[in-house]
Structure 1
Amino acid sequence: MPAVSSGTVLVTGANGFIAVWVLQELLEHGFAVRGTVRSEDKATYLRDQFATYSAKLEVIVVNNMTEEGAFDNAAEGTDAILHLASPVALDSEDPNAVIIPAVQGTLGILTSALKHRATVRRVVFLSSAAAIYNPPAPGDTGTRVLDESDWNEHSVKEVREKGGKAWGRDIYRASKTLAERAAWKLYEEERAKGGLEWDLVTLNPPLVYGPLIHEVPTAESLTGSARMWYDSVVKGAVVWPDVVSSHRYAYVDVRDLARAHVLGLTVPEAGGERFMICAGPCIMQQFVDAARRVTDKIPAGEPSYRKEDVVYATVYNASKSRNVLDLSYRSVEETAIDTTRDLERRGWVP
């Protein structure tokens, strides 16, 4: 199980919310980093953000990851690859627009890793809890515990049967499931042939929250889970029905997920494994309560709720990440307080 403790790491999609924290974690641990972005203007921010590491950071443009050989040049001479680039579209009505780039991008980066097997020793692929989650069966009111052995067959079936009429979130979840399945299939097939020098590791986080260090000029330009947190906690908006006190989630702090990527490289026993990366279940009201310790400008939400009365339909067992990676997780309170201070510093708390 070849681990990687030094050398050059390729990071795809290097300018995203999660990826910039991953770059920081890698650079702080002494790795040289080669990041890919889709346009030159996105590279400028990264070079400025990590100016003190200029000798260790290279940023290159890969404007279409679905093209054959898109990552071949980027992977040349690298010791490891972290694949974070993937489309995030929760409301798409076109399954192919989401699924094809996710699967082709994944197979493309692994094919590049095969071409450079002389140097590459490990590939870490950022998947998602969306590839694990299945909805409860009708009438099931208990709490289910899901882990790395589970796969989201429901969303794949929904998209296969309904096509563009499938729920947008099922299309997104299917893309994550099919991309990760494709990664493991290629990996196992190559291992069976013999001579595969690198290991595959996949990470499956739920919603990712935390402070921001990627390029985001205004609160309105926030996207994904960062936008959801901002709208729900800071603005007090109802993103989904009863989102503050009733909607059940699971979360991980972006800094802990970044740390998981480095551990996925450096821990020998991580090779060939799938990891649920999750701090635990949560509802947004918990973040609201913690954020209000920083500033009373945060709307109160529905503070009459009692955490002990919340029943979660689904929880994730992340014990494997704790035991194998020795990964620890930040609490709801720490994530909320640090995120609120960051947003307040930016002037984004009204």
Structure 2
Amino acid sequence: MHTIQAPATVLITGASGYIAVSIVKELLDRGYNVRGTVRSVVKGDYLKNLFKAHEPRFQYVVVADMSNEDAYDDAIVGVDAVAHTASPATLVARDPQDVIKPAVAGTLNILESVKKRGPSVKRVVITSSCVTCMQPKAGEPLLYTEADWNDHSVNEVQAKEIDVDQPHKYRASKVLAERAAWSWAEKHKTEINFDIVTILPAFVFGPLLNEAKSLSQLNETSRIFYDAIKTEKPPSVATKQFSNLVDVRDVALAHAQAFEVEKAGGQRFIAASVPFSWQAIYDALNSANPPVSNVPKGTPGAPISDRSIFVSEKAQNILGVKFRSLRETAVDMLDDLREKEVQWST
């Protein structure tokens, strides 16, 4: 059996990240012991303070560079499972290899460390992304499932290198990192005592637990949400689908369930709620009860155009995740960001 239960110890890589902090909270709330890797003592101390009510069940270790082959060797000793969330998340890399190499190396390094130093590890849950499914296809709306793989972005990067469109660099990094994990697991299946699971979140919104002392410290998706709500004039493409949405708390729940549900082993799980446009976000906020003030109106009720849907039935049926509504996620995130605005101004 590859599942775990509290009070087992879980290692979470990149523990100070937007998604990772919510995973830490979910696991601590369930009674697990959590060891997080961070890139600096400052980041680790922030988490220690954030989760001080759970001491001594939360500890951190500094892993400055996950690209080093032995980066996780010491961190892995004595843990029962791993959530690997650490990966570059940027849309400004010039050379695609600046994103791809650390993403792939970090994934393979954690697996090698588990193989060498983690005999008690039962399962490794890896945070991938829905972008790994975004292979061009026909249909209206487009439907993506865990059976889809985005070879297109990988091919674009290989053909155009630094001249490739920016989104393909990030997408290729996620595809190649996840595929590297599955290939590694297949190659070493007779040598290891653990299995792997991958979670594929859509565009992640929701309340922030990670540190953000200023607007410039917001993670990528939170900054995109903030800018879209603060705008005085909605963009002309506000009714066009931007992506599919998922609440960060539901992503954390999916990770936690992936540790505890035996049937999850060896599977990919899309974590997605609904397609969204910025107009749909505006409508959700303006129709909230109680109403939310100072939100763009746009063109109320305009339907989403050019829809694509990431099908999350597996996560619902196997992991038991009931995804939050667009309105709940948007309202909670906006409330949180407005609280942070007050802090930034003092």
Give the structure-1-normalised TM-score.
Answer: 0.93
Aligned AA for 2:151?
E
- Give a deviation string over 1:211-244, Cα, whole Å, max 9, x none: 1111001233212111111111233576xx6453
Other-structure match for 1:231: 227
Shift of 1:35: 0.3
Matches within 5 A, 1:55-70: 55-70=56-71
Other-structure match for 1:177: 175
Shift of 1:190: 1.1
Where structure 1 has 5 or more consecutive residues not aligned to the other structure, the ranges are: none
1:263 counterpart (257, 264, 267): 257
Distance (Å, rounded) in 2 between the aligned partners of 1:282 and 1:267: 30
Q: How many residues align?
A: 340
Other-structure match for 1:12: 13
1:148 counterpart (146, 149, 152): 146
Other-structure match for 1:282: 276
| Residues 77, 243 of structure 1: alpha-carbon distance in 2 compared, 3 angstrom cutoff | farther
**How much is the aligned-residue C-alpha RMSD, in angstroms?**
1.8
Q: 1:236, 1:301 within 8 Å by CA — same for their partners in 2?
A: no
- Give a deviation string over 1:136-169, Cα, whole Å, max 9, x none: 4xxx563221100000000000000001001111
Q: 1:143, 1:315 within 8 Å by CA — same for their partners in 2?
A: yes
| Residues 289, 223 of structure 1: alpha-carbon distance in 2 compared, 3 angstrom cutoff | same
Shift of 1:100: 0.3
Other-structure match for 1:2: 2
| Residues 345, 182 of structure 1: alpha-carbon distance in 2 compared, 3 angstrom cutoff | same
Aligned AA for 2:176?
L
Other-structure match for 1:333: 327
Distance (Å, rounded) in 1 between the aligned partners of 2:28 and 2:218: 25
Shift of 1:286: 1.7
Distance (Å, rounded) in 2 between the aligned partners of 1:130 and 1:327: 20
Shift of 1:92: 1.7
Query: In structure 2, the residue corresponding to 1:172 is in which secondary structure?
Result: helix
Distance (Å, rounded) in 2 between the aligned partners of 1:342 and 1:88: 22
- Give a deviation string over 1:261-317, Cα, whole Å, max 9, x none: 1001011111111101111211122222222334321222332x433xx34442111
Distance (Å, rounded) in 2 between the aligned partners of 1:113 and 1:19: 19
Distance (Å, rounded) in 2 between the aligned partners of 1:243 and 1:122: 43
Structure 1 consecutive aligned stretches of length 4 or more whose deviation exceeds 3 Å: 234-238, 347-350
Distance (Å, rounded) in 1 between the aligned partners of 2:335 and 2:184: 44
Give the structure-2-normalised TM-score.
Answer: 0.94
Please state if 1:90 is matched with 2:94: no
Residue identity over aligned pairs, in percent, reads 39
Where structure 2 has 5 or more consecutive residues not aligned to the other structure, the ranges are: none
